Structure formats: structure tokens, C-alpha cells
Structure 1
Amino acid sequence: MALAGTFGQRVKRQLSLADAPPSLIARSRRGVDVAVTETLNSEPVEGLSGSLADDAYLVSLKLQDYPDCELWEHGKCFTKTDVRAGTTYLYDLRHDPRFVIDKPFHSVHFYLPRLTLDGIAREARTPPIGDLACRYGFGHDDEIMRHVGALMLEGLRRPAEANQLFIDHMMLAFTAHIAQTYGGWQRVADAARGGLSPWQVRRACERLDSDLGGTLSLQQIAAEFDLSVSHFSRAFRISTGLPPHQWLLRQRVKAAKQLMTLRDLPLSEIAISVGFANQSHLTKVFSAQVGVSPAAWRREALGIRDSET
């Protein structure tokens, strides 16, 4: 099975793209990757798409209509269908699905290995997940996938603002949704597990607080407690009231407030020093959490009148 780290290169070859599309990747404790990438071409090279054959699934959220799409499977023409924007398609890559490229296309592709599905069932102590319900040529009206796709698309286009904790959190939610909706997976109730112990909460928060830039992955932190990513993420939320990536954003805003009491320190420098990509990123997150912009909060905190600014 190919690693998702090379997924962008494989998609480039499959669709005859000029460059490999950027990807966001989450890795499990066992080193299995889940990836997402955006595929877009307004002037494609016409012909039959290349192979992505693998022991994995491709979950594709379509962002553009693709009428009269000719689909191939196992090297033969299978059917023709009208692909509609906003629908989600599941492809079993073991069947070597392909399509005839003869018009512009735009999609968000999620790469989901079988080993990832096996892993979440094993970690949850549930029966193995069977084959996903891949109805080749059939699009699903999946509101959750539209939401996940929109968030990941924003991350793909603004990678500096998408810290690894956020990517891991979204990929975990994506995998669980696909397993439950299309694989019949039923997760055991989480309530019995409870949250983290006090020392685990303290240690996890210390680790997150020491890395405001968000370079640590959920897998790295969970491994310190010998927990799966899904177990750690749920337990952390039970204990703190927030998932790890949102807790980190709250700490960034808290650190920014402390620095903003220094009158002569520019907001652009504060943003970078507390882990935001830039001042615009700080403003967006700060305003959402606090209700006012950083500049307005600073004026109030320092007692600065508008006439002085």
C-alpha cells in the first residue's frame, strides 16, 4: 500500500496535472496515513485517467458538475452518469476505478486506507468494519462531508493556518463518519471511559502549551499516555470541555492578550510569537473567541482613546 505522503504525486499522474496538488496528512499511531487533496483543472488533458489501484478507498466530494461521466472499473467501461456538485462518491481502489477526462473538473479527494478502518475498530474493541457501501456511479447527498470538505479545503488553501492538531481532529471525524455511515460501524458509548486522570490532563496541557505553533500531532501526544488518538481526543474533551486544537487556540489568544498589554509591540509580531500564521489569522480567531478585534481589545485594555490611535 502506498503512503499518503505520496498521494499528491499519484493524483498528479492519475489526472495528468502539471503539478502535484498540495495534501494535508494525518498519521495514526501505527503509521497509517489518511490524506486529503484538492483536484482542479479547467483545461485538462483529455483521455482515460490513470490508475490509483490500492488497498484503500477514495472519498470524493464533487465541487463542480461533470455531466455524462464515463466510468471504468477493472479496465472496462462500467457506466455513464451525471456527476453533480455537492455530492459525495465512494470508490474502492481495489477495483481500479477510472473515468474519461473530457471536461473541466474540481473535487476534494480523501484517501482512506483499509488499515485505518481496521485500526479504529480494533482500538474501539468493536467488530471489524466490512467493505464500505461503494455504489460505483452513485452520488450521496452527505451534508457532513460537505462541511468537512469545506473546512479541509480552507486548510489546503491556507496551510499556515491549519495546525496539525486541527488536521488530525478533522481526519478523525471524517474517518469515523465514513465508517459509521457507509461501513455500518457502531462505536461503543464513550461515557464509560470518562476523561483523563488529573496528571494526564496536566501533562497534556503542558505539552500543548509548550508548542503554541501546533506542530505536535495528536498521535505524538496520545502516544505519551499509550492511548489511541480517538481515545485521547475524546478523553481530553471530557476533561477540559474542548478538543485539543480548540484548547490550543484558546491558549494562543490568552498569550496574545498578555503581550498586547505591551503598548509598543506590533500586532503582527504578537501574532507570529504566539503561533498564528499572521496578523489576519490572529484577528480572525481572536474576534471569534473574544467578540472584538485585537486592536479594539488592546485599546480598551490600555485605556487608549480613539483620538490617540
Structure 2
Amino acid sequence: MRQPEAALSPPELGAFGDTLAAYYHQESSSTASASWTDKTTFAITRLQSDVGLPGTSQPIPDEAALHVSIAIQPVPLGSYELLVDGREIDVPFIPALRTSILDLRSQIACTLDCGFDYVHYHLPREGLDEIARDHRIKPVETYRFGICEDDLVIAQVTKTILPLATSPNWSSQLAIDQFSLLFGAHVLQTYGGLARLPEVVTRGLAPWQARRAAEVLRSRLDGGVRLNVLARECGMSVSHFARSFRATFGLSAHGWLVRRRIEVAQDLLLTSTHPLVEIALQSGFSDQAAFNRTFRHVVGVSPGKWRRDHGRG
């Protein structure tokens, strides 16, 4: 492999999004992110190319984070060369939906001389450490390196989020925040050398915390509030808040917010003659298609039929 060029300047937030794309000589990316703490970001980045890399990738600057990648399409044997800390790694044929796990505290560079489609997950160690502490275990120092791992959980969740990559729901903040905690817990357990994460008994939110969380969520029906903001309002860590919210309300914060949107929409359907597209926007949905899809999923019928059945033609 040709030796990598000098590294680009270290990113302000980490190796994801267009910053990650630049390391791989790509002009743009599809990205969604969640704030794990005030200074760390979990991110999902999709990079695609019909022709491969024009040369060796830029080495990613040292960062206290894991880089988890999953191939959406197969990578032929001999097409992908990987260099970690100056050592060439033997890369086998990579079938679709196989996972690689790299520690960004190592220097990483690669060549890829065929078209590719990858989803990359950026997991800061500080966020993983917080999840560990929330489960009353010590932070993990060394995560298992992996190439071409057959991780059925990561494969399935990646297939689930792929359709969102080109839709407005890709930036649904609370949904991504909730997803990031589940994904982080899986990586912590599977690649951190743990048999399983200890069960943690959650008592739920205190009454004042429940009221405050509901108040903030109702004020932002469009979902424009992050899980870390809700947690801060309640004086809790993000992962502890997420578990406590579910214990109190029986739903995740995102699920609870969706139910409130549907309730607002039902009230508007009954008391107004507004067209569905206007009701969708007033209820916090990004568009009528998302409103119709979610309403049908929660209520069981389309909003138009529900309105007709309840007296508003």
C-alpha cells in the first residue's frame, strides 16, 4: 500500500459527516448525529462511491472514539487494503452487511479500488464510558478489533435505518438519540469483553422530573429537542434519564412525543376543517406523508378515514 499523505487538520467534533468524507476523498455524506454529552457526538455517516477511492485515504487524527463500519454491498477480495499503526491488515472478502470495528486512537488509512457503500458509526469513548457507569460497571479500556464480523444486531439495525438516509426523518433528533444509546450498549457488551450488561433497577422519574420532561417535550412537538437537554433539565445522565423516562411513561421519549403529536392531530381533525397537510405541520410532523404513515401505524386507519368516521367530512 502507498503510504498515506499527511493528515488533515483534526476535526472539531470528530471523524464523521463531511469531515469523515474528506478523509476518504469524498465530497459529501449523509449524516445524522446525537449529542451524548456536551462535548461528544454519536454519529451515523453513509459514504458511497461508484469508482472507489482515488488514492490512499487521509489518516484519521487520533481520537478517543470507536469507528464501526458496515458494508452495504460486498467488497471483493484484494480490493480493500487497510493499514493500522503502520501495519498492513489481512482483509478477506467482505460480504454485504459485515461489520468492522476500529479504535480511532490508532492511525488508520486504507485504499479501496472498487465502488463501495458503507455506513459508519462514530462512538466517542466518553459516551460509552457513561453507559458503562450507568450500568454500574467500570469503563472499558480495550475494545476488540474486528474485520468482517458477522454481527446480526448491527446488520439488522443498519438495514432498518437505511431508508431514512434520504428522508426528513433521518434528522429526527429524539429517535436518533434513543437509537444511539441502544447501539452504544450493544457495542459496549459485544466488543468490550462483557458477557452481558448488568441489569439495572430503574425507579423512574421523580414527579417534578416527569412534569418537567413532559413540559419540554410538549413545547417542541416537532421533536427539536435533544435527549441530553431533557436529561440536563432533570439533573440526570442521558442513559439514566432514557431508562427512567421509559420506566415512568412506558414509552421512550420519542415514542411519547409521537403519541402527543397524534393526540394534537386528532383534536385538530375533530375541531377544524384544515387540510391534512396543515394539520400535519401543526402537529409537529415534517410532511403529510410522515403524518399519514405514523397516524396509520398508531391509530390503525388513515387520518382522512378517522376524520370521516368521527364526523368531519
Q: Please say whether Structure 1 and Structure 2 have the same fold, judged by a TM-score greater than 0.5.
A: yes
* 1:1-309 equivalences in 2 (<5 Å): 2-4=11-13, 7-17=16-26, 19-55=27-63, 56-68=65-77, 69-135=80-146, 138-160=147-169, 162-185=171-194, 186-191=196-201, 193-262=202-271, 264-302=273-311, 304=313
Q: Which moved more, 1:74-83 or 1:170-179?
A: 74-83
The gaps in structure 1 that reach 5 residues or longer are 305-309
Cα separation, 1, equivalents of 2:106 and 2:301? 52
Distance 1:302 1:5, change over 3 A: farther
Q: CA deviation at 1:101?
A: 1.8
Q: What RMSD over aligned residues (CA atoms) do the two structures have, in Å?
A: 1.9
Q: CA deviation at 1:73?
A: 1.9
**What letter is aligned with 1:292?**
V
Q: For residues 123-146 of structure 1, what are the alpha-carbon distances to aligned partners after superposition, in whole Å with 9 as ceiling and x for unaligned?
A: 4432121211113xx312222212
Q: For residues 57-114 of structure 1, what are the alpha-carbon distances to aligned partners after superposition, in whole Å with 9 as ceiling and x for unaligned?
A: 1101110101122222223433232111011111122222222220000011001122
Q: Is the 8 A contact 1:60 1:90 kept in 2?
A: yes
Name the SS of the counterpart of 2:16 in structure 1.
helix
Q: Is the 8 A contact 2:168 2:286 kept in 1?
A: no
Cα separation, 2, equivalents of 1:84 and 1:5? 28
Q: Is the 8 A contact 2:213 2:234 kept in 1?
A: no
Q: Which moved more, 1:145-154 or 1:208-217?
A: 145-154
Name the SS of the counterpart of 1:94 in structure 2.
coil
Q: Which moved more, 1:3-12 or 1:215-224?
A: 3-12
Cα separation, 2, equivalents of 1:24 and 1:165? 11
**What letter is aligned with 2:60?**
L
Q: CA deviation at 1:281?
A: 0.3
Q: Which moved more, 1:220-229 or 1:118-127?
A: 118-127
Name the SS of the counterpart of 2:149 in structure 1.
coil
**TM-score, normalised on structure 1?**
0.90
Cα separation, 1, equivalents of 2:87 and 2:140? 28
Distance 1:26 1:292, change over 3 A: same
The gaps in structure 2 that reach 5 residues or longer are 1-9
**TM-score, normalised on structure 2?**
0.89
Cα separation, 1, equivalents of 2:91 and 2:138? 36
Q: Which moved more, 1:155-164 or 1:252-261?
A: 155-164
Percent identical pairs in the alignment equals 35
**How many residue pairs get matched?**
300
Q: For residues 187-206 of structure 1, what are the alpha-carbon distances to aligned partners after superposition, in whole Å with 9 as ceiling and x for unaligned?
A: 44222x31112232222112
